[in-house]
Amino acid sequence: MHVQGSKLLDGNGNEFIFRGINIAHAWYTDKTEFSINEINALGANSARIVLACGAKYTKTSYTEVEKIIGWCEKAGLVCVLELHDFTGSDNPSDITTTALNYWKEMKDLVNTHKDYIIINIANEWQGSWNKGSLWGNTYSSAVKSMRNIGIQNAIMIDASGYGQETGPMINYAQSVLSADPNKNVIFSYHVYSVLGKDNTSLYSGFDGIKAKGVCWIVGEFGWWQNGGDVVYKSLMSYCNSNRIGWIAWSWSGNGGIDTCLDLTSSKTFSRNSLSDWGKYVFYSNDGIKYSSKKAYNGSNNNNSGSSSSSNSNNSNSNSYSNSNSNSNSNSNSNSNSNSNSNSNSNSNSNSNSNSNSNSNSNSNSSTNSNSYSYCNGCSVTSTGSDGSKWGWENNKSCRINTSKCNNNGNGRATYGYPYCYGCQVTYTSNDGICWGWENNNSCVINNSRC
């Protein structure tokens, strides 16, 4: 991985845009391999892994790091390794000496895998605000030292103020980059209830660092923090429109008031137990399913459907998609066939294109006034400009017969979602509600009819 101007290039020289998930290895060491495979199956192209050097948390050993790298490479995931011991510290020696010594131990290992591995020197070092020169000078020194000990990987650096202060990074990013003889530095914001409290704050910080022409991403973000909401929908839309990478916090295992930031259940760590936050990160139109493109295939991706998109950076929709990894209701169990996302523009761009989806191919004798056959079933895959509902059966478009397929006039169902026209269940949430997937959006199965 190597920075070129404001872009990050993979080992093949192609632009890479993070669409990843944070995984807390240091606290849940027995869940890491499973978690990596789960986010891979959902289409993520990267993981940021929490490590520890022993200063605060139990040290992540060389052998552990070697295994983590192997799991990520097998899944085809770019892997950011970060030290979490010095979160909020203002002590320069924590990163210029202690963190440096840890990375020195890992040097030969990470250098061998530099096409996959990015070194995030220390998570959220410098918790204090309004000390821009401290941040700039310390990281300039740290970057020089990392290169002096022989680290060849791309280096990631978090903003001050627990990752949320914009001024120092905007003002000193160029000087930190200049300190690196390899010019291979990625800068990272962490967006929570300060930087992400409203669109004005968010766009000011994003546009400010963007104007500096450096490579930057959002290394962490959530939907809420410490009683304050985060404009996460605006963040994801901005990043899609501007080709900026992001890594959502976090797969599972948050504690206290932060448990709401779990993307999936801490009981299972499974992709089949996604929270509402997880569903949005993976299945909204700006989410991983529609905007993630992998740098590498990996050896366990033949049937996973994990390379789920080809750069669909055009959508600004903020709707939830409460589906799981098998959300395409007319597709085979591992197909995840939305390879061309934003597919609801016309009746021929349906993603649910399974040729075996309706076996009664000769039973559909009815036609509508425009000579299109009516669908046998009620699964909606697109909506015409006139409001007509369309499906996809036997490899061709058909019109939904609304006199047969209707939602009984019941309007909006739970959480404000519409009832499904059809009865195909793609996901059952923890509260027992059955969900379907029609017209590229989630809907609630109408149990009074199905």
**What is the C-alpha to C-alpha distance for residues 94 and 132, in angstroms, rounded to an integer?**
17
Would you state the structure tokens that stand for residue 150, as one six-digit string? 């022989």
CA contacts within 13 A on the Cβ side of 142: 30
Of the listed 38, 82, 165, 220, which one is catalytic?
A: 220
Give CA separation, 22 vs 42, 46, 70, 234, 430, in Å: 14, 9, 17, 20, 23
Cα radius of gyration rounded to whole Å, the chain: 23
The 10 Å CB-count burial string (b at 16+, else e) for 207-234 is eebbebebbbbbbbbbbbbeeeebbbbb
**Nearest CA-CA partner of 116 in 150, 65, 60, 163:** 65
Would you state the structure tokens that stand for residue 296, as one six-digit string? 């590498």
Q: Examine the residue annotation and report whether 220 is marked as an active-site residue of this protein.
A: yes
Would you state the structure tokens that stand for residue 5, as one six-digit string? 């101007």
**What is the C-alpha to C-alpha distance for residues 283 and 24, in angstroms, rounded to an integer?**
22
Q: Examine the residue annotation and report whether 66 is marked as an active-site residue of this protein.
A: no
**Nearest CA-CA partner of 335 in 344, 345, 323, 325:** 325
Residue 367, number of CB atoms within 10 A of its CB: 12
Would you state the structure tokens that stand for residue 437, as one six-digit string? 């997937």
Of the listed 124, 165, 393, 438, which one is catalytic?
A: 124
Q: Are 390 and 383 in contact (CB under 8 A)?
A: yes
**What is the C-alpha to C-alpha distance for residues 16 and 178, in angstroms, rounded to an integer?**
22
Active-site annotation, residues: 124, 220
